[in-house]
Amino acid sequence: MKKIICFILFISVIQVSFAQEPTETIDTLRRDALKVFLDCMFCDEDYVKREIPFVNYVRDRKEAQVHLMVTSQRTGSGGREYTFHFLGQNEFTGMSDTLVYVSSTDNTWDETREGQVDLIKLGLVRYVVKTPFAKRISVNFEQAKREELVEDKWNSWVFRNRLSGYFSGESSYSSHSVSGSISVSKVTPEWKMDFNVRYNINGDRFELDDETLISTRRSKSFRSTIVKSLGEHWSVGGRYGIFSSTYSNYKLSLNFSPGIEYDIFPYSESTRKQLRILYSVGYRFNNYEDTTIYDKTKEGLLGHNLDIAFEVTQKWGSVEAFLGWNNYFHDWSKNSLSLNTYLNLRIAKGLSFNLGGGASMIHNQLSLVKGGASTEEILLRRKQIKTQYYIFTHFSITYTFGSIYSNVVNPRFGGSGGGMVFYY
């Protein structure tokens, strides 16, 4: 059993507080306070504004003296690592810092947001002390009373169990779904191991004038990933799985695909930028529910995959792009190519643009049932049908103008999720 021994002589619990003089006005606060642009989709913004009242929260990043950009990624234990990038602007250009807060899987949302706020306060101190508000800031230090010995009896292994269900119904229609999963994972700087078992059943029932239609879809899977780190840029590993699906005509599908990955940027910078190239070669054995359009009831297949992932997060926004290509060796015409992209762009003051979409060229549907599907099976999504492509897109444009300050929080008549339901 590996032990992590932490001799903590001084645990610093630092509290930053702000004292407001009775004679100060809102205008005085706005004039003297640090201007901060909070760029965090993982934060409770109302809570942050209530707990940190000694700065001005502005809506335009160009007006800010500090652009606080927050990125996040999941930890091996199931928690999240939040990286806070304090980016100085205007007179604070060149004054930048990076702080990290890690929440555990046992933390409630209240505990997580409290930890985030404590860290934000600490990160803002170096900027606030250079403003007239410095004289109103106090910092307290709390010393630990004893040493602590921390032992990981699970040796970094994490176990998760999940069971969920859904039901809805009307007089002529009802729908239900039940899913369950068990996952076991271990993530360390050297290894990443993940094992997952999943079961899912979905059903729909239609009451028509003269008949009842019932549609049921089931799927079961075991998936695993094992990866070994080879430094800041290289890693090797593989994916292994067992899968069955009534919708996709798989009674049983076994696959094994070892691969190698290279990241142009160091893995340590993954929260801000990634350019990963993964190549893998794999074997798949398929045992089909029904005879396929190629007159197969079972077959073994060799193929390879090339996946490229690009992600970057900057003050102007973020870009994500994922390119995937694969084909089978026995027939190079049996292949697929897909590209998904997501763009979040701050164009100008108050104007932002979001665009996302993807397209796939599909020429490798080897499991399609011979004879096709009936109209009922197509409408009820019981069987997969032939297609040569798949596309989707979404976009949004947002323009905001008016006061650049957004410090006030007013929760009245909001967030309850209740109210009467009306049908039109």
Tens of pLDDT, residue by residue over 252-307, are: 999 999 999 999 998 888 878 899 999 999 999 999 999 999 999 999 999 999 99
Residue 410: predicted pLDDT: 61
Task: In whole angstroms, give the CA distance from residue 125 to residue 163.
Answer: 44
- 365-382 pLDDT, tens digit per residue, is 999 888 877 777 777 777
* pLDDT at residue 11, rounded to an integer: 34
Mean pLDDT of the residues in the chain: 83
Q: Which of 8 and 383 is assigned the larger pLDDT?
A: 383
> In the Cβ-directed half-sphere of 299, how many Cα atoms lie within 13 Å?
14
Q: For the purposes of burial, counting CB atoms within 10 Å of the CB of 275, is it exposed (0-12), middle (13-18) or buried (19 or more)?
A: middle
User: For position 408, what pLDDT does the model report?
Assistant: 61
* Average pLDDT for 304-311: 94
The reported pLDDT for the residue numbered 412 is 66
Banded model confidence at residue 17, pLDDT cuts 50, 70, 90 = low
Residue 189: is its pLDDT beyond 90? no
- Nearest one of 76, 73, 103 to 186, comparing CA atoms: 76
Q: Measure the CA–CA gap between 23 and 20, rounded to whole angstroms.
A: 8
Alpha-carbon span 341 to 380, nearest angstrom: 30
Beta bridge partners of 165: 178
Split at pLDDT 50, 70, 90, the class of 55 is confident
Question: Is residue 417 predicted with pLDDT exceeding 80?
Answer: no
- Identify which of 36-50, 58-72, 91-105, 166-180 has the greatest average pLDDT: 166-180
Phi and psi at residue 296, in whole multiples of 5°? -110, 140
Per-residue confidence (pLDDT) for residue 146, from 0 to 100: 57
46 — pLDDT class (breaks 50, 70, 90): confident
Longest dimension (CA), the chain: 86
Residue type (1 letter), 15? Q
Tokens of 54: 């000694």
What is the pLDDT at residue 47? 85
Full-model pTM: 0.69
Query: Residue 126 pLDDT more than 80?
Result: yes
Residues 208-225, mean pLDDT to the nearest whole number: 89
